[in-house]
Amino acid sequence: MNFQFIKLITFSFLLLFVSYSHAQTIEIKGKVIDETSKEPLAYATVLVANSETKQPISGTTTAEDGLFYLNTDAKKFYIEVSYIGFISKNFNQFNVKNNTIDLGTFTLAEDAAQLDAVLVQAEVSRTQFKLDKRVFNVGKDIASTGASALDVLNNVPSVNVDIEGAISLRGNSGVQVLINGKPSILTDDGGALGSITADMIESIEVITNPSAKYDAEGTSGIINIIIKKEERKGVNGSVSLNTGIPDNHSIGVSLNRRSEKFNLFTQFGLGRRSYPRDSEGINTDLDNNTTLINTGTEYRNEKFYNITLGTDYYITPNDVLTLSGNFAYEIEDQPSNYNFQLFDENDALESEWDRNETTEATNPKWQYELVYKKDFKDHDDHDLLFSITGNSFAKDQNSLFNDVTVAGEDYDAAQKIRTDFAEDNFTFKLDYTKPFNQQWSMETGGQYVINDVSNDYQVEDLEDDVFVTDTGLTNIFNFNQNVLSVYASGAYQGEKWGLKGGIRVEHTDLKTLLETTNESNNQNYSNWFPSLHSSYKFSDVVSLQAGYSKRIYRPRLRDLNPFFNIRNSYSIRQGNPELQPEFTDSYEVTTIFDIGKTSLNFGVYHRFTTDVIESITTAEDNVSTSRPENIGTNSTAGFEFNTKYSPINWLTFNVDFNFNYFNRVGTFEDQVFDFNGDQWTSKLMTKFKLPTDIDFEATGNYQSDYETVQGNTEAIAFLDLGLRKKILKGKGVFSLGVRDAFASRYFETFTNQDTFTNYSKTTRGRFFTLGFSYGFGKGEAMEYSGGKRR
């Protein structure tokens, strides 16, 4: 597997060498000022175009002081400098000295006629419905600001980006971010999007109820960033330094070079971080009237290193080949200390002991992708996309647990746990889009996904000074799942009304095997996933969108794997290899109102899910065991509201509210789980633009309590704060963040049954972060935290 990745990286270096060795780069520089005021013109457009075809080759915008720098490998070209409301200036003859063209300082004159037209018809960013998605068109009001892709996303209705760069849709994380309709390693970590600037983005598509084109596997949504074909060329980059309490220290560098033929990018970083967690549990045996109380703190300390390399090679202006890869390596140390107290039926302390853990692990990770995209010349949306993506993850973990008696009955014991884990995932995908005219179009394609996992798990108990294997807890769990999909859809898009229908067929082949005990579970099934979407534009202010899709949730490895590290031997979680998938019918109607500076979004939805997967807890002698099971159906109906409003230039509010009512019906082992309930979530993000380029952000979250199949989960309210200061004309950024300012973000659950009750509470506490980042070229300062945790 590693050898394949090395070949990919070697090819990337070859492409890098070829791009530099076959092109003589010419640097172009100059300064643009206003002819009347003699003041510098910031954000004027500087374009390098082919002398014969007039097609754009390279480009940039001027800085605050009117200066610009860009590079080109072209032989025959001219230079055009333009600015809204000014007469453009062309340079067809120039002197090249030491591979440099210095245009010096020159002026642009105002164009009165153009200024009048600009006043009448300003190009502003707007949102519109397109059948199964909402499209945010980036106008010059944002494109000319020099902002990054993350800043643009924060202007999109229903999308939020917090001050640390985390992206959410409708208040939910887990969003899939695409670039020009294809996955990219650049989107795996929000900080890498800092190399994409606002003037490079044409539009952003938001898909909340995916059509047949996309995986039937449920997600919280899809965001697709459409890059302009005339991408800005040159060298972009950024560097980031971060520190925090508890320990969270990192350094990251992102580099990007664009030329006529190549877009070369890399990102690398290293650091260390610590994730402490406090927990409390109370297990009560109602048959014996005994109670076990446990409290403790566990840590996950990590050192991490990662590097990303990749290139986009433009075979022709309409044919792009992307090759990229990422390697990350983590070294983990996980100490924990738990105290246990056992009380008898008279509430008298019967025994007390401590359980101490020492765990060490190493985690190598690989990611790689090969993508080919062809844009046909007859239509902007006529394209073919083929991609191969893969990732590998391994864990070599060893744990030692020591139980030491503090009082009462002897509970001294020692236990060793060893885990050798390996996972490989591959995705092969082909998509073809064909517009027949301005109204009618079709999409078709296929996908094949391979998921292969092996988990070698061994538990040893100390007996007479010798560690002996516990055969009841030791096994090798193998998981192999292959999913083959094909889809087709057709669409009609008129001036006001549109309709899109499609069908997706997915065949799943799943095999699990416990090698030691020879227990297997094979599942082989095919499913149809229809989708139907429609939209209607009443006016430029009001639009309506409706959609239906069928979704599936296939049990993950965590749901299926019966063996996990037993940190708390009295609160055990197991997987269930015999779980069946969930199926959901999803209906949604959404309307959008564009009112001045405000965009209001209101939607209602209904979801009906069968074979719902729920975690069921059983208990004996104060030992609770949780295991996922398929239990009945869930019918959910709800509504959501979100808006983004800026009453004044320095103040912005983002509001998200979601309420749903659910009806659960199900039976498991003669126990009936029929009940009704409701829950709601809300979020208010307030952003202040303060003097001297300071941004302040406060985000309040509230999640109501709700009933579960065996108990209830308590409500949560928490507040995150962020402060950001721009320096060096926006190229440098200092940031300060406080996550969970009042240490009120905790997870608290109750399980109430006839023979036992359980109480559990976990919290991570308050986090402080401080960072500095600097962008050069056209790169924007980025937030970097070492990439996503697994």
Nearest to 12 by CA among 305, 388, 259, 369: 369
- Report angle CA 474, 480, 484 to the nearest 5 degrees: 165
Residue 560 near residue 520, CB atoms below 8 Å: no
End-to-end CA distance of the chain: 20
Confidence category of residue 528, pLDDT binned at 50, 70, 90: very high
Residue 170 above 80 pLDDT? no
What was the pLDDT predicted at 147?
A: 54
What was the pLDDT predicted at 17?
A: 40
Please tell me the least confidently modeled range out of 162-176, 376-390, 576-590, 645-659. 162-176
Cβ atoms within 10 A of the Cβ of 711, count? 16
Residue 229 above 70 pLDDT? no
What was the pLDDT predicted at 402?
A: 93
Confidence category of residue 484, pLDDT binned at 50, 70, 90: very high
Q: How far is CA 460 from CA 353, 399, 456, in A?
A: 20, 10, 13
DSSP 262-300: EEEEEEEEEEEEE--EEEEEEEEETTTTEEEEEEEEE--
Residue 143 above 70 pLDDT? no
Type of residue numbered 159:
V
Residue 341 above 70 pLDDT? yes
Residue 212 above 90 pLDDT? no
Distance CA 91, CA 152 (A): 32
Distance CA 701, CA 346 (A): 42
Distance CA 254, CA 258 (A): 14
What was the pLDDT predicted at 750?
A: 93
Confidence category of residue 428, pLDDT binned at 50, 70, 90: very high
pLDDT average, residue stretch 280-291: 92
Q: List the beta bridge partners of residue 365.
A: 328, 393
Q: How far is CA 537 from CA 65, 125, 130, 155, 440, in A?
A: 44, 18, 10, 22, 18
What was the pLDDT predicted at 306?
A: 87
* 218 or 522, which is more confident: 522
Whether the upstream peptide bond of residue 577 has omega within 30° of 0, thus cis, is no
Residue 7 above 70 pLDDT? no
List, in order, residues 6 or more apart from 8 with CB less than 8 Å away.
323, 324, 325, 368, 370
Helix or strand or coil: residue 149? helix
Residue 582 near residue 559, CB atoms below 8 Å: no
What was the pLDDT predicted at 530?
A: 94
Q: What DSSP character marks residue 233?
A: P
Distance CA 341, CA 406 (A): 9
Nearest to 76 by CA among 50, 94, 55, 42: 50
- Looking at the domain that runs over 236-777, which CATH code has it been given? 2.40.170.20
Q: Decide the pairing of beta strands 746-752 and 248-258.
A: unpaired
Distance CA 589, CA 666 (A): 28
Could you tell me the two tokens for 587?
């209906």
Residue 632 above 50 pLDDT? yes
pLDDT cut 70: percent of the chain above it: 83
Residue 208 near residue 132, CB atoms below 8 Å: no
Confidence category of residue 32, pLDDT binned at 50, 70, 90: very high
Please tell me the least confidently modeled range out of 413-422, 438-447, 493-502, 594-603. 594-603
Domain ranges of the chain: 26-116, 122-235, 236-777
Answer whether CATH 2.60.40.10 is correct for domain 26-116.
yes
pLDDT average, residue stretch 401-428: 92
Residue 13 above 50 pLDDT? no
Residue 618 near residue 624, CB atoms below 8 Å: yes
pLDDT average, residue stretch 643-658: 83
Could you tell me the two tokens for 555?
């049990």
Residue 180 near residue 202, CB atoms below 8 Å: no
Distance CA 310, CA 372 (A): 14
Is 236-777 the same fold as 26-116? no
pLDDT average, residue stretch 315-343: 90
Residue 121 above 50 pLDDT? no
As a 3-state breakdown, the chain gives helix, strand, coil percent values, each rounded to 5, of 5, 65, 30
Q: In what order do the strands lie in the sheet with 100-108?
A: 67-72, 26-34, 100-108
Please tell me the least confidently modeled range out of 267-271, 440-444, 530-534. 267-271
Residue length of the chain: 790
Residue 55 above 60 pLDDT? yes
Distance CA 363, CA 790 (A): 10
Q: List the beta bridge partners of residue 478.
A: 454, 513
Distance CA 785, CA 409 (A): 47
Distance CA 138, CA 123 (A): 9
What was the pLDDT predicted at 456?
A: 92
What was the pLDDT predicted at 116?
A: 43
pLDDT average, residue stretch 713-742: 86
Average model confidence (pLDDT) across the chain? 82
Q: In what order do the strands lie in the sheet with 623-630?
A: 571-573, 623-630, 613-620
Residue 600 above 90 pLDDT? no
Distance CA 313, CA 545 (A): 38
Distance CA 546, CA 536 (A): 9
What was the pLDDT predicted at 178?
A: 79
Residue 765 above 80 pLDDT? yes
pLDDT tens-digit readout, 88-101? 888 988 888 888 89
Nearest to 783 by CA among 729, 716, 746, 735: 735
What was the pLDDT predicted at 787?
A: 42
pLDDT average, residue stretch 509-528: 89
Confidence category of residue 8, pLDDT binned at 50, 70, 90: very low
Residue 144 above 80 pLDDT? no
Please tell me the least confidently modeled range out of 143-157, 228-242, 474-488. 143-157
- Report angle CA 754, 755, 756 to the nearest 5 degrees: 100
Residue 528 near residue 503, CB atoms below 8 Å: yes
Distance CA 714, CA 429 (A): 42
Q: How far is CA 484 from CA 187, 430, 504, 506, 507, in A?
A: 25, 12, 10, 6, 5
Residue 521 above 90 pLDDT? no
CATH architecture of 122-235: Beta Complex (2.170)
CA dihedral 707, 709, 714, 716 (to 10 degrees): -90
Residue 367 near residue 419, CB atoms below 8 Å: no
What was the pLDDT predicted at 122?
A: 38
Residue 123 above 60 pLDDT? no
pLDDT average, residue stretch 289-304: 91
pLDDT average, residue stretch 590-613: 84
pLDDT average, residue stretch 220-228: 76
**Residue written as token pair 């970083």:** 269
What was the pLDDT predicted at 24?
A: 65
